[in-house]
Amino acid sequence: MSQANVDFVRSIYAASERGDFSSVEWAHPEIKIDMSRQVFNPATYQGHAGLHNMHRQAREVWDEFRIIPERFIDAGDHVVVMDFVSGRGRGSGVEVKTRSATVWTVREGRIILMAVYYDPQEALKAVGLEE
């Protein structure tokens, strides 16, 4: 089942790369998006409405924003993705480039938790893995 989870998370990244943010079929109705570790605008979003709110806020803040998955790590019910993130602020024009890690937790065939970490070791530790 865990390789299926990796493939599932890959498909979410592929949809995002195509700009398909309208579908929430992949998200469990009780999804929690934990971005509380962010430097700017740390937040937590809940449910499908929270997911839509997160996307809306991102479009308001970023003129360009891209998350490129570099590595997918199978951790059973969790998939850890090492990401390269780049963006340009809408108002400031400031460009940002960084690496982060996202932990995706699958329950009942949908994502129940998406947690963003800016320290990849923290993400691995959160799922019981360490490199």
- Strands 110-117 and 27-35, by their bridges, are parallel
Q: Which residue has tokens 């971005």?
A: 35
> Distance between CA 44 and CA 39 in Å, rounded?
13
H/E element, 117: strand 110-117
Residue-range domain boundaries for the chain? 2-126
The CATH code of domain 2-126 reads: 3.10.450.50
Q: What is the pLDDT of residues 1-59, one digit of tens each?
A: 589 999 999 999 988 887 776 678 899 999 999 999 876 678 999 999 999 898 888 88
Q: Is the dihedral of CA 12, 127, 37, 48 positive or negative?
A: positive
Bridge partners (DSSP) of residue 107 are 110
Q: What letter represents residue 116's amino acid?
A: V
Q: What is the pLDDT of residues 53-94, one digit of tens each?
A: 988 888 888 898 889 999 999 999 999 999 999 999 999 999
> Distance between CA 9 and CA 13 in Å, rounded?
7
> Per the structure block, which two tokens stand in for 33?
């998006």
Q: Which residue has tokens 């579908």?
A: 23
Nearest to 50 by CA among 66, 35, 72, 67: 35
Q: Is the pTM of this model over 0.85?
A: yes
